[in-house]
């Protein structure tokens, strides 16, 4: 069982502005019911429900650790299929750059840094961005499997996915919407245009959609400097 995967899940729950919702997201990704998780932890199902809904105070570090261990234990007992999907080799020719920030930065600050233009500021620009991944959209579309898609998220889904080689932005947003894991922000690098469908999908998923005219090498240099 991967120590890195355990730390990834625990870290995301702990750093999340809505830890209960993040617990629910991971529980759903592992296809584990509240009842099964509660039985593994020897607690009431209502406790899990209260955490996920925000009715109960955010769990402490020890409780988060128990919840994460419970998710992984249940999956291992089922054959470890979900864990295997996450424990993929992180390298990919479609990923041009990737990094985690020492601390979360405001989405608005991120946009200023990359000289970005937000196309749907109505979704809220107060989200924190914990990292970035720059993706060659054409290679990702032609080579990525569902497991490969997980490589994009590093240590947190609260990150910006920057797509190069975008013409209208429809395909990347369709791919993002089809997967249960969502980024905080999607950035199109030097796009030809922004398709109305891409904008609608981003708003439906509460994802900040941004475009930038900076070249990829300059983006990598600026983001690595954070």
Enumerate the CATH 3.40.1390.20 domain ranges in the chain, comma separated: 95-224
Which CATH superfamily, name and number, covers 95-224? Answer: HprK N-terminal domain-like (3.40.1390.20)
* Residue 215 CA: distances (Å) to CA of 31, 131, 164, 198, 225: 40, 19, 9, 21, 16
Percentage helix, strand, coil, to 5, in the chain?
A: 50, 15, 30
Enumerate the CATH 1.10.260.40 domain ranges in the chain, comma separated: 3-86
Q: Specify whether the CB–CB gap between 199 and 184 falls below 8 A.
A: no
Burial class (CB in 10 A: 0-12, 13-18, 19+), 180: exposed
pLDDT tens digits for 40-77? 999 999 999 999 999 998 899 899 999 999 999 999 99
Q: Specify whether the CB–CB gap between 147 and 175 falls below 8 A.
A: no
Compare 4 and 161 and report the one with higher pLDDT: 161
* Fold of the domain built from segment(s) 3-86: 434 Repressor (Amino-terminal Domain) (1.10.260)
| Average pLDDT of every residue of the chain | 87
pLDDT recorded at residue 94? 84
23, 21, 29: which is closest to 41 by C-alpha?
23
pLDDT tens digits for 109-159? 999 999 999 999 888 788 899 899 999 988 887 777 666 677 787 777 889
């Amino acid at each position: 069982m991967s120590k890195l995967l355990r730390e990834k899940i625990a870290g995301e729950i702990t750093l999340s502005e809505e830890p209960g919702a993040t617990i629910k997201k991971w529980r759903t990704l592992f296809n584990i019911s509240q009842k099964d998780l509660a039985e593994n932890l020897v607690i009431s199902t209502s406790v899990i429900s209260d955490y996920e809904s925000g009715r109960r105070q955010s769990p402490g570090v020890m409780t988060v650790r128990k919840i994460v261990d419970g998710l992984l234990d249940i999956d291992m007992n089922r054959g470890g299929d979900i864990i295997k999907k996450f424990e993929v080799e992180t390298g990919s020719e479609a990923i041009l750059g990737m990094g985690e920030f020492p601390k979360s930065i405001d989405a608005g600050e991120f946009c200023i840094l990359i000289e970005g233009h937000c196309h749907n500021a109505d979704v809220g620009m107060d989200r924190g961005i914990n990292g970035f991944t720059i993706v060659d959209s054409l290679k990702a579309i032609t080579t990525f499997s569902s497991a490969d898609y997980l490589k994009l998220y590093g240590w947190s889904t609260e990150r910006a996915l920057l797509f190069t080689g975008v013409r209208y932005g429809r395909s990347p947003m369709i791919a993002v919407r089809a997967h249960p894991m969502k980024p905080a922000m999607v950035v199109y690098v030097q796009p030809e245009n922004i398709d109305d469908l891409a904008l609608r999908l981003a708003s439906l998923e509460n994802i900040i959609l941004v475009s930038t005219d900076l070249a990829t090498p300059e983006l990598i240099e600026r983001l690595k400097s954070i």
